[in-house]
Amino acid sequence: MNITTEQGKTLKHAHGDVFRGLEVVEHACGMATLQMGEFVPNVSSGIDTFSIREPLGVCAGICPFNFPAMIPLWMFPVAVTCGNTFILKPSEKDPGASIMLAELAMEAGLPDGVLNIVHGTQNIVNAICDDEDIRAVSFVGSNTSWHAHIFTSISQRKTCSVEAMHKCRQSNMGAKNHAIVLPDASIDATLNALVAAGFGAAGQRCMALSTVVFVGDSKSWEDKLLERAKGLKVTAGTEPDADLGPVISKQSNEYVPGYEHGNFIGPTIVSGVTADMECYKEEIFGPVLLCMQADSLDEAMKIVNRNKYGNGASIFTSSGVAARKFQTEIEAGQVGINVPIPVPLPFFSFTGSKASFAGDLNFYGKAGVQFYTQIKTVTQQWKGLASGSGVSMAMPTSQKS
């Protein structure tokens, strides 16, 4: 309920927000095996070599408003189970869920000072970026100039140098996720997927499906999309039958009849869109679905690949050949085949690419463990050494001397 009342999303989507975050917690509970290194005995005569992963120290996370529970749970459970302490800065627009998560973590036995919540806006973000005691920063948000500071201030002045106490960084940013619809796609299943992925959560998610490219005729698809969009109910997120709640602020507000004093935007479909239009170039982050048309799969993939963003892309088809071609040639970090929002479970990583990601390693999964740790390789020798053997100036090798 806290998520719905602060952020506005529907109760059913708020439930999903929490559940997807808890999947990361569940995965992090296996950290003992996820951090296991490698061991090779007797790499040379009487010499063993092994690697271990060690915590960085103090890490920090800067969170957006759109997933008040899931995004914090992408970050601190992995960081603290790797042995780090963590500073979490929730969005100033809906910080309640982060406070509740911290209280639950302490109730579960997390020691005082391991997880720390700080509130604020740009000055707090700047302090996190500039503090040399913070070894790693995770960020999720838009590509605006303020948010870009988070990455540029780190990348220009910080590296992953342990000696200089510099920062590692990971940054999930804006997106323009595409779906390509081929003429052989299942009509009902595809329409349902487009509506849910395009308008769910009022379009305020980085994996929202904001652009659809129809191969061949688009008119019949658009008519059916319009019909289904009209059937969605826009109302307060606390209403059990709500399909869309309000957006987060009045800046992108468009009033819906009957809700003159709310931040409500109805499902919006824009047809005849071309790649030179402003609505296509920029991330809208609202319940807006752009419709484009291409004459072939190759042309459709060129449209997708030329876009600067690369979070996700999907194809809807009954052709295995077309799906294989799409999977191989599309330039996006997360690919769906008849799946509209291809976000992987936590044992994989969230693999956005191009302008949608900046940094060293992706969020959660194996990459997340690597991000919050540093690797150390140990070579040890316990064989008996003959006294008086003298100094050897030769280059050490695995060959017996």
pLDDT in tens, 236-293: 999 999 999 999 987 655 444 445 567 899 999 999 999 999 999 989 999 999 999 9
Full strand arrangement of the beta sheet holding 115-117: 115-117, 85-89, 58-62, 134-140, 168-172, 357-359
Output the pTM of the full model: 0.90
Q: How far apart (Å, rounded) are the C-alpha atoms in residues 335 and 313?
A: 5
pLDDT at 143: 76
Kind plus residue range of the DSSP H or E element containing 211:
strand 209-215
Give the contacts of 137 (CB within 8 A, at least 6 positions apart): 59, 60, 61, 62, 128, 129, 150, 154, 167, 168, 169, 170
Residues of the chain with pLDDT under 50: 145-146, 157-165, 254-258
Q: How far apart (Å, rounded) are the C-alpha atoms in residues 249 and 80?
A: 33
pLDDT at 46: 85
pLDDT at 260: 59
Strands 309-310 vs 353-354: parallel, antiparallel or unpaired: antiparallel
278 C-beta neighbours (distance < 10 Å), count: 7
Q: Is residue 168 annotated as a catalytic residue, yes or no?
A: no
Residue whose C-alpha is closest to residue 295's, from 223, 221, 220, 214: 214
Q: How far apart (Å, rounded) are the C-alpha atoms in residues 109 and 392?
A: 54
Q: How far apart (Å, rounded) are the C-alpha atoms in residues 350 and 215?
A: 28
Residue 220 token pair: 């019949």
Asked if 175 contacts 352 with a C-beta cutoff of 8 angstroms, the reply is yes
pLDDT in tens, 31-90: 999 999 999 999 988 899 999 999 999 999 999 999 999 999 999 999 999 999 999 999
> Catalytic pick from 168, 206, 279, 291?
206
Asked if 253 contacts 17 with a C-beta cutoff of 8 angstroms, the reply is no
Q: How far apart (Å, rounded) are the C-alpha atoms in residues 14 and 3?
A: 6
pLDDT at 153: 58
Residue whose C-alpha is closest to residue 283's, from 261, 252, 255, 305: 252
pLDDT at 158: 44
Name the E strands within 21-133. 39-44, 47-55, 58-62, 85-89, 115-117
